[in-house]
Amino acid sequence: MACLGFVFVLLFLTRPALGDVVGYFKFDTFPDDNGAFTDDAGKGLQGRLGFPFSAPRSVPGPSGQAGDLAVALDGSSGLATDDSAAGILNFLTAPLTLECWVLSTNALQIGRHRAFISYGIPGGPPREGLVRGGYNFGLAPSGELRFTLFAVVDVFSGVPFPFDGQWHHVAASYSVADGVRFYLDGAEVASVPENRAIVPPGSRHLDIGAFFTGLGRFDGAIDRVRISKAALTPDQLDSVASTVKPVRNDTAVLYNFNEANPPYQGQGLPPAGVAVSTAEWVINHPPRIGASAGGPKASAAGPGVVTNTPSGAAADRAVQFGGADFSIDMAFVQDPNGVLNLNGDWTLEAWVQVAAVPDGDRDVIFYYGSPEHGYSLSVNYAAGNKLQVTTLGIADMPSDTAIIQPDVWQHLAVVHRNGQSITYFVNGQEADTRSYAGGTRLATTNKVLYIGAEWDGGLAFSGLIDRIRISNTALAANQLDSDPLNPAVVEAPVRLAIGLSQSNFTLSWPDAGSSGYLLEFIDTLPGTLWSPEPAAPVVAAGQKTVTIPLTGSTRFYRLRRP
C-alpha cells in the first residue's frame, strides 16, 4: 500500500456570535493532592494555589569584589535543587553544618517562619503520602536564628537576625557530642544540647530561601550557601567576607551564586547539585496543597481546600483564603496566550462566602492583569459590603444596591456591555445597572489571573471562593452560573477520530451536539480557502462518519462549527 500522504489536523472553531466561557475554575480537582487545579473551561490553563513565584535576581555579593554576586529573593521567590538521585544532602546522622551569608532590610518578616537552607519536608500533622523529615536553618517567628530537625525538634538560638541591610554570616553546626552551636559573623552566639537523629524526608530536595518549594519565602539576599558533613569549628566557617573558604572534602555543597542568573552550579561532593528557580522547579514538582503559600503573611492553611461549597455535593470543593487577621493568601492562573485578556463585552462571576468580620476596606475576589490594565471583581466593605468591579486604570465601580451578606454562599456577577453599561447580579437577580462607556484596557504584562488578592497580594480576600467563571460576552441572567446545586456545564470540544482501511480513510465525530458542523479540507497550511468535504456523513452508533478515498497527497481536515 502506498504510504499515507496526508496529515491530519483538528481544528475547532467556535460560534463568534455566542462567544465563550473563557475561564471556569471549579476548584474540585487537585490531582495527586497537589496545589494545582484544573481549568474547567478546557482552555489549557492550569491554576496553582499560593503566591506566584517571582524570578531571583543577582546583586553584589558580600566580598565586595568584582564578579562576586549573590542571589536576591523578594519574598515570592526561592531556589530548589534536586538531590533525589545522588542523595548527597540526605544526611541520616550528624554531624553537619549549615551556613550562608544573608542581607535583609525587611524586618516585617519577623512574626513568620523564614528559611535560608531547608532540606526535605517540614514537620506537622500526619498526612497521607507525606514523609516529613530533613533539616533547616533559618528564622523562627520571633526573628531569632533557628535550626530544625524536621519532625523532631526546633532548636532556638535566642539570637535575633539583624535586619540592618548589612551582610551577615550565619551558621549552625550540629554534632551528637556537642549539640547545636549557632554562629553570627563568625562568633559563637549560642549552644543548645541536642543529640537526636535526622529523619530522612520523603522528598530529597534542597530549598534555598524557602521551605518545601514555596513556604516561608525569604525577602533578602543570600550568598555562599554551604552544607558540610562536619561540625565545623569557628575558624573553619566561611565567615570572612573578603575570602571564600576553599571547598573541603567534607563540603557536601557550596553555592556561590556568581552566575548572573539561575541555574546556579554547586561545588562540593560530586555530582554537586544545580539550583534552579522555584518557579521552574514547581512546573515538574507541583507542591502539595498547603505547601506553597508564600507571600508576606500567608494564613496557616494558606490557601486551603475545603468541603464547604455552594452545592454541598460530595465531590465539590472550594478554596479558603486568609482569615480575620489580615493574612494574605492567593492562587493564580498563568495565561500566556491571553485567553482571559478581555476588552469587549464580558461577564465576571464567582461564588463567595465572605467572613463575618472583614479585615480591610475591600477584598479582591479575582484580578486579571496589572494596576493599569485588566479587570477585577471585589467586595467593597467601606462602601457597605457592595459588589464592585474595577476596570483597572480606568474606574472603580461599586454597585449601588448589590450587597453581599457574610457567612452564606452567594453568587456574584457583573456584566459589561462595551461602551454601554455595567450590570450587577446577586444570586442570579439583577441588582442595578449603571452607564459605563470607559471600556477595558488589555493587559500587556502580568497576563495572570490572581485569585484572592491583587497582583501583589494587596486587598486580600478573607473567606471562601468557588466557581470563578469569566465569559467574553454579556450574559443574560438565565445564563449565569447561579444555580448552587448545578454548576454550569461547559460544552466539551467535539473531537475528530481517524480510521484507515486498504483504500479509504474515515473521519468520525460524535453525532450528539454536532448538528450543523461542517467538515472542511485544505491542501496547504497556512491557508484560508477551506473547501467543504463533498462526501456526506453516515450516522451509526451515535457517530457521524465520512469515508474518503486515499489520494496519496497531503490534505488537512477540520470540523467547523458555523
* Cβ(340)–Cβ(22) below 8 Å: yes
54 strand-pairing partners = none
Cβ 45 to Ca ion shortest distance, Å: 16
Whole-angstrom Cα distance, residue 558 to residue 12?
Answer: 7
SS3 content of the chain, % helix, strand, coil (to 5): 5, 40, 55
Quote the cell numbers at residue 561.
Answer: 462549527
Cβ proximity to Ca ion, 259 vs 430, nearer residue? 259
Q: How far apart are CA 310 and CA 467, in angstroms?
A: 9
- CA 11, CA 376: separation in Å to the nearest integer? 32
Contact (Cβ atoms closer than 8 angstroms) between residue 312 and residue 83:
no
Q: Which is nearer to Ca ion, 64 or 419 (CB)?
A: 64
DSSP structure string for 405-471: PBTS-EEEEEEEETTTEEEEEETTEEEEEEE-----PPPSS--EEEESS-TTS-S---EEEEEEEEE
Structural Rg of the chain based on CA atoms: 28
Nearer to Ca ion, 256 or 376 (CB): 256
* Beta bridge partners of residue 433, listed in sequence order: 423
Residue 127 CB, shortest distance to Ca ion, in Å, is 22
Q: Which is nearer to Ca ion, 57 or 560 (CB)?
A: 57
Q: Which is nearer to Ca ion, 62 or 133 (CB)?
A: 62
CB 193 within 8 A of CB 154: no
Instruction: Count the Cβ atoms, other than its own, within 10 Å of residue 485.
Output: 9
Closer Cβ to Ca ion, 68 or 207, answer by number: 68
The smaller minimum CB distance to Ca ion, of residues 40 and 533, is found at 40
Q: Which is nearer to Ca ion, 275 or 474 (CB)?
A: 275
Q: How far is the CB of 454 from Ca ion (least distance, A)?
A: 11
CB of 28 to Ca ion, least distance (A): 5
Sign (positive or negative) of CA dihedral 369, 372, 377, 380: positive
Tell me whether residue 42 or residue 532 sits nearer to Ca ion (CB atom): 42
Least distance in angstroms from the C-beta of 549 to Ca ion: 49
Q: Which is nearer to Ca ion, 256 or 370 (CB)?
A: 256
Check: CB of residue 467 under 8 Å from CB of residue 481.
Answer: yes
Pairing relationship of beta strands 556-560 and 12-13 according to DSSP bridges:
parallel
Q: How far is the CB of 212 from Ca ion (least distance, A)?
A: 25
The continuous run of DSSP H or E covering 281 comes out as helix 278-284
Place of cell 471562593: 465
Cα–Cα distance, 337 to 200 (Å, whole number): 42
Taking the complex as a whole, the smallest distance from the CB of residue 136 to Ca ion amounts, in Å, to 22
Least distance (Å) between residue 274 CB and Ca ion: 16
Minimum separation from the CB atom of position 277 to Ca ion (A): 17
The single-letter code of the amino acid at 384 is G
Output the smallest distance, CB 26 to Ca ion, in A: 4
Question: Cell numbers 477595558 label which residue?
Answer: 440
Provide CB contacts within 8 A for 188, sequence distance 6+.
181, 182, 234
Q: How far is the CB of 64 from Ca ion (least distance, A)?
A: 11
Binding site for Ca ion (CB under 5 A): 26-28, 61, 68, 223, 256-258, 316, 359-360, 363, 460, 466
Q: Is 134 left (phi over 0), alpha (psi -120 to 50) or beta?
A: left
Asked if 150 contacts 122 with a C-beta cutoff of 8 angstroms, the reply is yes
Q: Which C-beta is closer to Ca ion: that of 39 or that of 316? A: 316
**Residue type at position 559:** L
